[in-house]
């Protein structure tokens, strides 16, 4: 075995490794993000003989359903895919102060009260700080162990001695491995620390939750390989100055992705929001122009949200476009489609001129949606504001819009209509191609449209 120390440069934003320093990262383009680190290049000869390694026939492999541990928090279970899988590794990322530690401490409370042994390892807070937060959350028992430590060798020894069922690491950026010479939080430390925790999770069958800080772009800080190593990646989103939080699953090897859980931050901790559609529509104005309700699918859950638009004459030569909660470039595209909207029967343009108007689009409630199914609602909200035409309060709109103004089909149309019916809506404007899938739903009027001109006529009636 030969030891050799090599100096390399890592990008603190994306984890890219280079042999020379540069002012700009060649991978992600970030400036002044390359940091020098000294690593050990150790050459180790494999002890396994090639003749002893044999593949396994797939028909000889037996697969059994994993036994999940319920967190007793329905919204958290939904995002995890039904509960905690023993031996899994979950990464929870989010902005500072968003509520990551509060969510995991509440999970610890529910688990320990149900008889599950949990160990909470904190590298950022003292035992007294954790106790103060725990007193606000509620009652705990002796099934929860606290450990304030950052040395992974010490943590590994304690975990192997105590053998908890669930292990919480808060946070991965504070942990350090003595075998790595760089400082805690560096790319090498984060990668190697995660490898040690992965060994604990898979080797001992312990479910490990890792808290990760995010960069200014909203991604987990450290090397990108961190997200590839873990089984599940969850992002805790929301405005830290607002009360509502969204837990979104972007990767899950044990369940569906893009599931969300909605929480409300209170003085006693995070409270579940079991009917987010009703919450998002709370306080909706009556007979207001530029306000339309749409339905978005977040994983398997339909959520009704209010699209608001304001069109006003610009005070400058260049009109302003602003989008909150949706894609800015998508709004610009829909504005262009509205300006070129044509009447197919008369073969003439009947669009609206927005070249001298500021256009503002907002999704009420602080939620962010990137699904194309909200295109039709955004376009009709802009049209409603420009023409000063209020949309009936009992109408819901969804559909994707193409560049030629056609309204394209969306997925899970039946679930969207059922959610609208459950909340008391009387009419749905949706793509014509989705009509066959919802024709058997009674108690709600379904209007199919093929292009944006037909949709405009439908809200003008």
Domain boundary assignment for the chain: 2-43, 67-274, 279-460
Tell me the whole-structure pTM to 2 decimals.
Answer: 0.77
- Integer CA distances (angstroms), 423 to 295, 364, 426, 440, in order: 12, 17, 9, 18
Q: Do domains 67-274 and 279-460 have the same CATH topology?
A: no
pLDDT of 105: 94
pLDDT of 26: 84
Parts of the chain with a pLDDT under 50: 1, 43-46
pLDDT of 106: 95
Measured distance CA(383)–CA(58) in Å, rounded: 57
Q: Locate tokens 């819901």: which residue?
A: 396
Nearest Cα neighbor of 397 from 416, 412, 422 is 416
pLDDT of 45: 47
Sort residue 68 into left (φ over 0), alpha (ψ -120 to 50) or beta: beta
Please name the fold of domain 279-460. Answer: Ribosomal Protein S5; domain 2 (3.30.230)
Query: Which one is the CATH code of 67-274: 3.40.50.720, 3.90.180.10, 3.40.640.10, 3.40.50.300?
Result: 3.40.50.300
């Amino acid at each position: 075995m030969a030891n050799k120390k090599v100096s390399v440069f890592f990008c603190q934003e994306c984890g890219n490794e280079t042999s020379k320093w540069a002012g700009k990262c060649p991978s992600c383009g970030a400036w002044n993000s390359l940091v020098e680190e000294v690593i050990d290049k150790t050459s180790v000869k494999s002890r396994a003989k090639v003749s002893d390694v044999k593949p396994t026939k797939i028909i000889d492999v037996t697969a059994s359903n994993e036994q999940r541990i319920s967190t007793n928090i329905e919204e958290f279970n939904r995002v995890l895919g039904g509960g905690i899988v023993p031996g899994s590794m979950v990464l929870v990322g989010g902005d500072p102060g968003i509520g990551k530690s509060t969510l995991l401490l509440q999970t610890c409370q529910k688990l320990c009260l149900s008889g599950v042994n949990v160990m909470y390892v904190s590298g950022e807070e003292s035992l007294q700080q954790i106790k103060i937060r725990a007193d606000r959350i509620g009652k705990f028992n002796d099934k929860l162990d606290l450990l304030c430590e950052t040395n992974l060798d010490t943590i590994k020894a304690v975990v192997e001695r105590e053998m908890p069922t669930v292990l919480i690491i808060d946070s991965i950026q504070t942990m350090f491995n003595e075998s790595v010479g760089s400082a805690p939080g560096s790319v090498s430390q984060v990668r190697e620390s995660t490898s040690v925790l992965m060994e604990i999770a898979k080797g001992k069958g312990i479910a490990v939750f890792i808290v990760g800080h995010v960069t200014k772009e909203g991604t987990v800080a450290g090397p990108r390989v961190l997200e590839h190593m873990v089984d599940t990646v969850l992002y805790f989103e929301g405005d830290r100055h607002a009360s509502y939080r969204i837990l979104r699953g972007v990767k899950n090897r044990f369940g569906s992705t893009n599931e969300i859980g909605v929480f409300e931050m209170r003085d006693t901790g995070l409270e579940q929001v079991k009917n987010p559609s009703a919450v998002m529509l709370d306080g909706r104005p009556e007979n207001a122009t530029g306000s339309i309700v749409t339905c978005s699918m977040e994983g398997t859950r339909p959520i009704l949200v209010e699209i608001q638009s304001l069109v006003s004459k610009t005070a400058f030569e260049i009109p302003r476009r602003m989008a909150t909660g949706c894609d800015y470039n998508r709004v610009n595209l829909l504005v262009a489609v509205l300006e070129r909207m044509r009447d197919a029967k008369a073969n003439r343009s009947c669009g609206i001129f927005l070249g001298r108007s500021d256009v503002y689009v907002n999704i009420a409630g602080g939620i962010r949606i990137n699904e194309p199914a909200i295109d039709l609602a955004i376009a009709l909200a802009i049209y409603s504001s420009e023409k000063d035409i209020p949309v009936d309060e009992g109408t819901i709109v969804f559909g994707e819009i193409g560049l030629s103004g056609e309204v394209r089909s969306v997925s899970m149309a039946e679930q969207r209509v059922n959610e609208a019916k459950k909340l008391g809506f009387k009419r749905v404007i949706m793509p014509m191609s989705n009509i066959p899938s919802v024709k058997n739903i009674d108690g709600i009027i379904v209007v199919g449209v093929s292009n944006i001109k037909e949709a405009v006529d439908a809200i003008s009636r």
